[in-house]
Amino acid sequence: MNWYKRQLKIAKRVWTDEELNKIKSLLEEGESIVQICRLLGTYPKEIKDLNKKYQLVDLEKVKRKKSEWIASLYLLPPKGKGLSTKEIKRQYDISRSSIVKALKTLGLEGKIRGRLDDYVNQQVSQKNKDFRKNNPGANEENSRRMLEWWKQFGSESGEKLKNRLLSYPTRQQAINQLEGFSSSLKNSVPYSGAIYNKFIQIINNHTFPDEVQQPQQQPQLV
């Protein structure tokens, strides 16, 4: 069957509810349109047209959700697991180019590490694991020191930071401020990761002004 006849056959295809539900499910799972075409014997434009016609999923929303998941594997703690591109490829079959694309989608180009950085990070991580394994008391001592230091920071300074973060009109502005604050502490203050985790939770539990739904105005009768 030549290419032209194949396109005519696809164009005349009638899609069942079961097939449409299958497409919807695959799209929601983040499956690529190319792979869906291979599974269902069609072509990308047809899938996009079906999605638009039947409003199956919000492709941009699904794309961002998948990018956030990939970023959570790649970004360094406390924002992610800090896996190397090699580890992500081995465990999840996600290529380096897909990781870079996901980070760019989220505006995180500056977080892209070189292959050497990945290797060094992997070696440091393994070294820390070996140290904790050979020094069982290290975790308890670290926890004790962290608790003492946190008590000092968590009073007046912590309340000021909380008020400042929650004063922003949008969630993203608060997150940006927290990230900048945590980054400035990273090399000079212990447990900056704990500070980030505590206050990102405060941000996530807060409703910002731009998220409050404004009441719709009733039309005035003339």
Task: Tell me the three state secondary structure of residue 94.
Answer: coil
Q: Around Cβ 153, how many Cβ atoms within 10 Å?
A: 17
Find out whether the peptide bond into 136 is cis, omega within 30 degrees of 0: no
Helix or strand or coil: residue 8? Answer: helix
| Alpha-carbon gap, residue 70 to 111, rounded angstroms | 13
Tell me the whole-structure pTM to 2 decimals. Answer: 0.47
Q: Which of 156, 168, 70, 74 is nearest to 121 (CA)?
A: 74
Segments of the chain with pLDDT less than 50: 1, 4, 8, 188, 222
Q: What would the pLDDT profile of 79-129 be if each residue is shown by its tens digit?
A: 888 888 888 888 888 888 899 999 999 998 888 887 655 655 556 566 666
Question: Which residue ranges make up each domain of the chain?
Answer: 3-57, 62-126, 146-209
Question: What do you get for the CA distance between the two ends of the chain, in Å?
Answer: 66
